[in-house]
Amino acid sequence: MNNTYGEIIKITTFGESHGLIIGAIIDGYLSNKYLFENTIQKKLNLRKPFTSFFSTQRKELDKVKIFTGVFNYITTGSPILLLIKNHDNKSLDYNNISKNFRPGHADITYQLKYNYRDFRGGGRSSARETTCRVASGAIFNNYLLSKGILIRSYIKKIGNLKINFFYWKNILNRFFINIFYLKELKEYLNNIKNTSNSVSAEIVTIINGLKFGLGDPIYKKIESLFSNYILSINAVKSIFFGINLKNKNSYFIKDEISKFGFLSNNNGGILGGISNGQPLIIKILFKPTSSTSKNIRTINDNFKEVLSKTYGRHDPCVGLRAIPIIESMLSTIIINKIFIKKIYE
């Protein structure tokens, strides 16, 4: 099982949804950089369960602790070990699926590939693992900001409901901590929950401050690399770069300062797989949550058809807590590419 990602800075995540702890080891990061647990905690608080009325009711503290690689709040250059305890794991909720395979989940593929699986919340395949990614990616925020790189995302759609984007500081678009104040959205998601259904989500990410030259043709285009990281996030099924498919041209215009510019950004900041200096635009689609409390037809470990029900606590829309996960994964690949290309030195 591959649990490591990154090129220069390598991140290994570990732990299961219902195990004692989850965590990450970050190896290859710079020395002599300030790093505080509070910096990581702020990002974790944005994805942790129970921050929204419509997220899973699993109440995890997600309190991070730095164990190695930092001395007097400064990185030493040695591996950084982050640990997070699991608190509210009700494993008994999953006893009924110990023999049954949930449709839309990795239960059957894990069983067939490894001849064994942790059925408690999906074990390693659970979205709980993304907590480790958020904690790791948070380490790189200050470095990227010092290079003028800003990664921001907003929720554009929940199911069939369009969310109007107002401004970046609007908490509605960014993280949905207070969405229950909006009547239309509350009624929509309440209906989804009450009917034991789930819905998809569309998220738009815009990266400002990328210089020319990130990405390599033909087999290591920047969108290929981003796609690799983003598609590794649970429930992501689609990714699109740019504004739309109708017009992908971005015409040139004379600019006295930088010698040339662009009349538009339909390409989303990428030409030929290489960043062109414009804001990079990514649209990401999350599928509806596979687990609901409905009785559904499936098969068991004897490959016999059965009716099964999942009793665990789940998000009716996983996209509600996805923004910090997306931004952490993008932070990781960007900082690795910067270190490889050395174009920001």
Q: What is the pLDDT of residues 146-192, one digit of tens each?
A: 999 999 998 889 998 888 776 676 555 565 444 444 677 778 888 88
Among 149, 145, 155, 172, smallest CA distance to 325 is for 155
Q: Could you report the per-residue pLDDT of 119-150, keeping only the tens digit for each? A: 887 888 888 999 999 999 999 999 999 999 99
Contact 291, 284 (CB under 8 A): no
Contact 200, 188 (CB under 8 A): no
- Band (pLDDT 50/70/90 cuts) for residue 226 is very high
pTM above 0.85, yes or no: yes
Whether 63 shows a pLDDT value over 90: the answer reads: yes
Return the pLDDT at 171: 53
Q: Could you report the per-residue pLDDT of 213-224, keeping only the tens digit for each? A: 999 989 999 999
How far apart are the two ends of the chain, measured CA to CA in Å?
36
Element (H, E) at 117: none
Q: Which two tokens stand for residue 332?
A: 């990781």
Pick the more confident residue, 92 or 56: 92
Burial of 64 (0-12, 13-18, 19+ CB in 10 A): buried
Q: Which two tokens stand for residue 175?
A: 């993280």
Return the pLDDT at 88: 63
Please give the Cα distance from 25 to 9 (Å, whole number): 10
Return the pLDDT at 180: 47
Give the chain's mean pLDDT.
85
49: left (phi over 0), alpha (psi -120 to 50) or beta: beta
Among 5, 49, 46, 2, smallest CA distance to 25 is for 5
- Band (pLDDT 50/70/90 cuts) for residue 50 is very low
In the chain, the amino acid numbered 12 is: T
Among 317, 288, 337, 39, smallest CA distance to 176 is for 317
Domains of the chain: 4-341 (3.60.150.10)
Pick the more confident residue, 54 or 26: 26
Return the pLDDT at 169: 63
In the chain, the amino acid numbered 116 is: Y
Pick the more confident residue, 106 or 64: 64
Pick the more confident residue, 94 or 218: 218
The DSSP output letter for 294 is S
* For residues 293-316, average pLDDT: 81
Please report which residue ranges of the chain form alpha helices under DSSP H.
37-47, 107-114, 130-138, 141-146, 171-174, 183-194, 222-230, 323-341
Return the pLDDT at 311: 67
* For residues 71-97, average pLDDT: 85
Return the pLDDT at 58: 52
Return the pLDDT at 182: 64
Return the pLDDT at 328: 96
Calculate the CA 292 to chain-centre distance. 21
